[in-house]
Amino acid sequence: MNQLNALKQFTTVVADTGDFKQLAQFQPQDATTNPSLILKAVQKPEYAPLLAEAVAAHRGQPLDVVMDHLLVRFGCEILKTIPGRVSTEVDARLSFDTAATVARARRIMAWYEAQGIGRERVLIKIASTWEGIQAAAELEREGIRCNLTLLFAFCQAVACGQAKVQLISPFVGRIYDWYKKSAGAAWDEAAKSGANDPGVQSVRAIFNHYKKHGIATEVMGASFRNVGQITALAGCDLLTISPELLAQLASTEQPLNQALDAAAAQAMDLPAVVYNEAAFRLALNEDAMATEKLAEGIRAFCADAVKLEVLMQQS
């Protein structure tokens, strides 16, 4: 059995791509997209017509309207290939505006429903800022399920659990990137791999906390840099993986063992943790890695949204 099939015994495998033509070969349950992945996809010849069609169908309308229609179009195409859910992201430029995030999420969901897609098949991706988490709490109460992304700190995960969001996406690879860059020449790749990888350790702590305290929010590890990070999280609720790493797993026959276990977590002595807004902001501020990577991630998604708008204007 290859490692991809072995992983599917313990974990729901999700494809992290806007390139829906690649999906079928890996047979993932769900798929995730973000502005960067959609931008990458529409610059390929085979996807350029989707951009042109979205622009033509909504010419003269505001760019945010055209963009959301494009995102929904990609989502609908992805849902033809997978049995589960697609994640579609709210514009990152709204990451600090609760009301605007709620409004955009409602609009995206309404457009999916207009295409005959049920709410249970869509997750609205929102950055894990305090404002984003509060928006998600409101949306969840309306039956709009959310995927809280750009999650780097334990306090973000706790706040998402309190908000009863459907799913969180802790970013394994970007946490790893920060610690590796911070250590510089002192970084020991072998010593910081697998279970000792700081990104892996972050997800494991969140997973154990959720399972210990009966928090229903799903944990989906994301942003992987290598296969070792993925195999070290076998047993996590879900893992969203790029097509390149899915291919590596599919071509590897080495044994794969379950690394995370909900029953084991329930037996651990882990204190309950609660954050109000002030405590959340202080805890996030105290975590230099999470503060920097959250800001950097929002900036990058904002920049790619602008690039996507430029392509729309040129179409």
pLDDT in tens, 247-304: 999 999 999 999 999 999 999 999 999 999 999 999 999 999 999 999 999 999 999 9
Own/partner contacts of 48-51, CB < 8 Å, gap of 24 or more, are 50/74, 50/77, 51/311, 51/312, 51/315
Q: Express each pLDDT in 63-106 by its tens digit.
A: 999 999 999 999 999 999 999 999 999 999 999 999 999 999 99
**Whole-number Å distance between alpha carbons of 89 and 146:** 10
Whether 192 is a known active-site residue: answer no
pLDDT of residue 128: 98
Whether this prediction's pTM lies above 0.75 is answered by yes
Domain count for the chain, please give it: 1
Catalytic residue among 125, 211, 212, 293: 125
pLDDT confidence of 22, banded at 50, 70, 90? Answer: confident
Per the CB < 8 A criterion, the answer to whether 144 and 124 are in contact is yes
Of 191, 200, 192, 268, which Cα lies nearest the Cα of 234? 200
Q: Express each pLDDT in 219-255 by its tens digit.
A: 999 999 999 999 999 999 999 999 999 999 999 999 9
Q: Which helix (H) or strand (E) holds 209?
A: helix 198-212
Average pLDDT over residues 204-218: 98
In the chain, what percentage of residues exceed pLDDT 70? 100
pLDDT of residue 200: 98
| Residue 166 belongs to domain with CATH number | 3.20.20.70
Per the CB < 8 A criterion, the answer to whether 239 and 233 are in contact is yes
pLDDT of residue 9: 97
Residue the block writes with tokens 């805890």: 283
| Mean pLDDT computed over every residue of the chain | 96
Determine whether 258 is exposed, middle or buried from the number of CB atoms within 10 Å of its CB (0-12, 13-18, 19+).
Answer: middle
Q: Give the structural domain span for 53.
A: 3-314
Residue the block writes with tokens 């020449």: 185
pLDDT confidence of 35, banded at 50, 70, 90? Answer: confident
Bridge partners (DSSP) listed for residue 12: 238
